[in-house]
Structure formats: structure tokens, C-alpha cells
């Protein structure tokens, strides 16, 4: 018994030693910072350099953990367990809502800085709308992304197109001109098959009705939904899409760079750099938002997302933490991140890469943020089968919009 107690005491002493050492190690750092930078990427190299400069100029010591894409899986557990993480990013403003209780109110810091002048208004609006009180900022934005039509300007010029379309009618005229010039207007890969259809539904059906339909059914009873399906079928018949679409990602979008037979793709702001990296092409990129449907029930919104930078509500030195996130998301750091990669940093004072010139104008004027899937992903039980049904719109599975609507109703039976 004495031997057992002695052994137990040794174990407890060792555990206490490890815990004490871990706690002491944490206390040796002024801040513990977690990031989503991935080693081997240009942004990682910039971040490491600028963090070292911050430490030297402020005379502080940071413990920085770079988790890359694994961060979103690791962070929630760490925050919930009370692990010390003074500064951390969140992948989107929606994630801010989920982790709100762990984030510090930054309103006073923001209002006494120039962040509101730097950031895109829609991003700050998205952040403040995640607060239950609707009057607190619990993050500052870093990198913006949004879904839009990204296009090869050279193809537009060759087809005699001088302006980007604002309405469905103008958009159809653009597609017709591209077809007449020998192009496939729109690339479409299965990875983002819902995006164009969701935007047609947002314009012609409205997000609220889409949510109601995927929850309770009644697609065939919705004249607007049937019309939206007919619109997609009409665009397919008129040759507006890559004839092999939807292809497996990234086959169809890569044709914009490889053969340049495809001209436009509707997806996130990263796609221009993605295509250039995968194909080696160097294109003159333009961008415009999904066109409006005059008289329709939709808002004409844009699906905007922004990476958020937060301070833990339990951070013991919030002033230093604010100094850090402000430094890492403004000025020379944003300039270096912009030059190093193809991100649209959320800083209007920085000169954008040429590919983002039109994207910046778009972001400046976004009034409404729409759900990525316009409510069509509201029913998780049919998410996979919903995508398969949408693919049918592009592959000739339905004779008309009513037949397509019947297929959507069948998903809920």
C-alpha cells in the first residue's frame, strides 16, 4: 500500500510539474497567437516576416501557432476548454456568430481608429450583424471574398462587348455575343454547381421563399421557382455554358486559362489566381456581380464573406492584442500580402492588384449580403440529392421547369 501511495504521489508530482511548466511557458509570452497561414505559401512567408518585425519594434515576445486549414477544426475546442489563445482568426463572419462568447468587444478600439475608413462597409456590416446586441464589433476583417462573374477581358473585347451587364437582359446579350464569336460563355464545374442556380433563385424567387420550399416542399406550386428552372434550361439550350458542364473541378474553369474557349466563371474571389496557378496563364481579369432581375423579389445581393480577426475575451493585455491585429491588417503588412498573393485584402487604402480593380468597385457598392445558396441549403437532409437534382438542369434531365420542380418536390417525399 505504501509503495502504491508513493507511486501515485510521484505521478501527481510529475503531472503538476508538466502543468506548471506549461503554464510558466505560456506566461513567458506577451501574446499567444493562432493563425490560419499555411507553411509554404506566400502569405505565410509575409506573415512570419512581419510578425518578427512587430516583436522587434514593440519589444515583445509572441508565441505564434500556424495551423493552416486545420485551424477551423482545432479552434472551437481550444476556446471552449479555456486554453489560452489571445488572438485568433475566424474563417467568416458566420463563424463569428458561433464563437461570439469567446470574442472581445472591439467597438471602442475600432471607433478610435481608421478601420471604418479602410474596411469595405459590407464587411463591417456583416461583422456587427453577428452581435446579439447589433451594436458591437467583435472582430476586424482581413481578407474579403465574394461570389461574382470573373471573366477574360480579351474575350469580351474580341466579341465586341464594351460594358459588363447589369440585368438579365444585358447578361443574355453578352452571352449571345460570346457564342457568336465562337466562345463558350460560362464555365461550370460540379464543385460549385449550386452557385449560378442559387443566384437565379435569389433574383427570381427570393431567399425567404427558397428556404420555405426546401423545408416544406411546394416547388411545383411556386410560379417563380418554375420560372427560375426554365431560365436555366433556356440558357443551356442557347449554348451559354461549356457543353461538357458540369465538369469535375477544375476542368471547365481551367479552360479559361488553357484554351481560352471558356470566358466566365461564377465563383469566389480566389478563382482568378487559382486558374493562373493551375494553368500558368496570365489573363486580364474583370469581374461583375450576378445581374439583377428587374421586378423580381430578390435583393440583388452578393454573397460576401470575410476572414475575421478576434481577441479572446479573456486576453490579459487587450491593448497589445489590438496593436497586433491592427498592425497585421493594415498598412505595410496589407501591402506586402497584396503583392505576394492574389487576395483581396479588406483595406481600401491599399492599391489593389489589377485583377481586383473591378472587384473593388463591386465591393464598395454591395448593399445586401445574400446567403451563398440563397436558402437552398437550409435543409441539410437533402443537400446532396439537391445538388444532383440541380445537375439535372444542366444535363437535359428535365423537359421544362415544371418537370424540374417535380424532381425537387420528390426530394422531400
**133 and 50 both lie in a single domain:** yes
Of the CA atoms within 13 Å of residue 128, those in its CB half-sphere come to 14
Distance CA(153)–CA(283), nearest Å, equals 8
One domain, residues 319 and 209: no
Instruction: Write down the H helix ranges in 241-316.
Output: 251-258, 271-279
Locate the DSSP E strands across 337-397.
344-345
Same domain for 314 and 203: no
Longest dimension (CA), the chain: 92
261 phi/psi in degrees, rounded to 5? -80, -25
Q: What is the pLDDT of residue 15?
A: 46
Kindly report, residue by residue over 316-332, the tens digit of the pLDDT. Answer: 999 999 999 999 999 88
* DSSP letter, residue 66: E
**Same domain? 78 vs 34:** yes
In a domain, residue 9? The reply is no
The answer to whether the CB of 36 falls within 8 A of the CB of 69 is yes
Nearest to 409 by CA among 243, 221, 258: 221
Question: CB within 8 A of 155, min separation 6: which ones?
Answer: 178, 181, 183, 260, 263
47 and 83: one domain? yes
Is residue 204 included in any domain, yes or no? yes
Give yes or no: residues 134 and 154 share one domain: no
36 torsion bin: left (phi>0), alpha (psi -120 to 50), beta (else): alpha
CB-based contacts of 94, cutoff 8 Å, min separation 6:
130, 305
Can you give the CATH number for the domain in which 65 is found? 3.40.190.10
Q: How many independent structural domains does the chain possess?
A: 2
Which among 73, 134, 80, 141 has a CA at the least distance from the CA of 110? 141
- One domain, residues 284 and 206: yes
Please indicate, yes or no, whether residues 288 and 328 belong to a single structural domain of this protein: no
Nearest to 268 by CA among 161, 201, 195, 181: 195
DSSP 371: P
Of residues 54, 87, 51, 48, the one with CA closest to residue 71: 87
- Looking at the structure, tell me whether residues 92 and 138 fall in a common domain: yes
How far apart CA 381 and CA 356 sit, in angstroms, is 37
From first CA to last CA, the distance across the chain in angstroms is 66
Is the domain of 176 the same as that of 47?
Answer: no
Q: Flag residues of the chain having pLDDT under 50.
A: 5, 8-9, 11, 15
Residue 305 C-alpha cell reads as 464573406
Separation CA 14–CA 202 (nearest Å): 60
Q: What is the DSSP secondary structure assignment for residue 276, as one 8-state letter?
A: H
Residue 185 lies in a domain: yes
Instruction: Give pTM, 2 decimals.
Output: 0.86
Domain co-membership, 230 together with 316: no
pLDDT of the residue at 294: 93
Cis before residue 19, ω within 30 degrees of 0? no
Burial of 105 (0-12, 13-18, 19+ CB in 10 A): middle
The answer to whether position 220 is within a domain reads yes
Could you tell me the residue range of the domain that residue 384 belongs to? 148-301+379-410
Instruction: Tell me if 16 is assigned to some domain.
Output: no
Residue 361 lies in a domain: no
Q: Report DSSP state, residue 287.
A: E
Instruction: Output the nine-digit C-alpha cell for 254.
Output: 481551367
What pLDDT score was predicted for residue 95? 85
**Does residue 11 sit within a domain?**
no
Residue 192 lies in a domain: yes
Q: Which three cell numbers stand for residue 129?
A: 450583424
- 43 and 69 belong to one structural domain: yes
Amino acid at each position: 500500500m505504501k509503495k502504491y501511495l508513493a507511486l501515485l504521489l510521484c505521478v501527481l508530482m510529475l503531472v503538476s510539474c508538466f502543468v506548471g511548466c506549461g503554464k510558466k511557458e505560456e506566461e513567458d509570452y506577451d501574446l499567444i497567437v493562432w493563425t490560419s497561414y499555411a507553411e509554404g505559401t506566400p502569405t505565410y512567408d509575409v506573415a512570419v516576416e512581419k510578425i518578427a518585425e512587430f516583436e522587434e519594434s514593440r519589444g515583445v515576445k509572441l508565441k505564434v501557432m500556424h495551423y493552416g486549414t486545420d485551424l477551423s477544426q482545432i479552434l472551437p475546442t481550444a476556446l471552449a476548454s479555456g486554453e489560452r489563445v489571445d488572438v485568433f482568426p475566424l474563417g467568416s463572419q458566420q463563424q463569428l456568430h458561433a464563437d461570439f462568447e469567446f470574442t472581445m468587444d472591439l467597438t471602442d478600439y475600432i471607433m478610435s481608429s481608421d478601420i471604418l475608413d479602410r474596411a469595405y462597409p459590407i464587411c463591417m456590416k456583416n461583422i456587427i450583424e453577428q452581435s446579439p446586441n447589433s451594436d458591437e464589433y467583435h472582430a476586424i476583417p482581413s481578407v474579403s471574398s465574394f461570389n461574382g462573374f470573373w471573366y477574360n477581358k480579351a474575350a469580351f473585347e474580341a466579341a465586341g462587348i464594351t460594358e459588363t451587364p447589369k440585368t438579365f437582359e444585358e447578361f443574355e446579350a453578352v452571352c449571345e455575343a460570346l457564342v457568336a464569336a465562337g466562345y463558350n460563355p460560362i464555365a461550370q464545374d460540379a464543385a460549385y454547381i449550386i452557385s449560378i442556380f442559387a443566384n437565379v433563385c435569389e433574383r427570381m424567387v427570393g431567399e425567404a421563399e427558397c428556404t420555405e420550399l426546401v423545408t416544406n416542399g411546394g416547388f411545383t406550386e411556386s410560379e417563380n421557382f418554375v420560372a427560375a428552372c426554365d431560365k436555366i434550361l433556356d440558357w443551356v439550350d442557347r449554348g451559354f455554358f461549356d457543353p461538357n458542364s458540369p465538369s469535375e473541378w477544375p476542368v471547365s474553369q481551367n479552360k479559361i486559362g488553357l484554351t481560352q474557349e471558356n470566358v466566365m466563371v461564377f465563383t469566389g474571389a480566389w478563382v482568378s489566381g487559382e486558374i493562373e496557378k493551375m494553368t500558368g496563364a496570365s489573363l486580364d481579369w474583370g469581374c461583375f456581380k450576378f445581374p439583377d432581375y428587374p421586378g423580381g423579389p430578390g435583393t440583388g445581393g452578393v454573397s460576401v464573406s470575410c476572414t475575421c480577426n478576434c481577441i479572446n475575451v479573456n486576453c490579459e493585455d487587450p491593448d497589445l492584442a489590438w496593436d497586433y491585429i491592427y498592425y497585421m491588417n493594415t498598412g505595410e503588412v496589407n501591402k506586402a500580402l497584396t503583392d505576394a498573393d492574389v487576395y483581396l485584402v479588406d483595406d481600401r487604402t491599399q492599391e489593389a492588384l489589377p485583377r481586383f480593380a473591378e472587384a473593388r468597385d463591386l465591393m464598395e457598392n454591395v448593399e445586401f449580403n445574400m446567403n451563398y445558396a440563397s436558402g437552398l441549403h437550409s435543409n441539410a437532409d437533402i443537400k446532396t440529392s439537391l445538388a444532383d437534382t440541380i445537375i439535372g438542369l444542366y444535363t437535359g434531365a428535365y423537359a421544362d421547369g415544371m418537370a424540374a420542380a417535380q424532381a425537387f418536390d420528390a426530394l422531400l417525399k
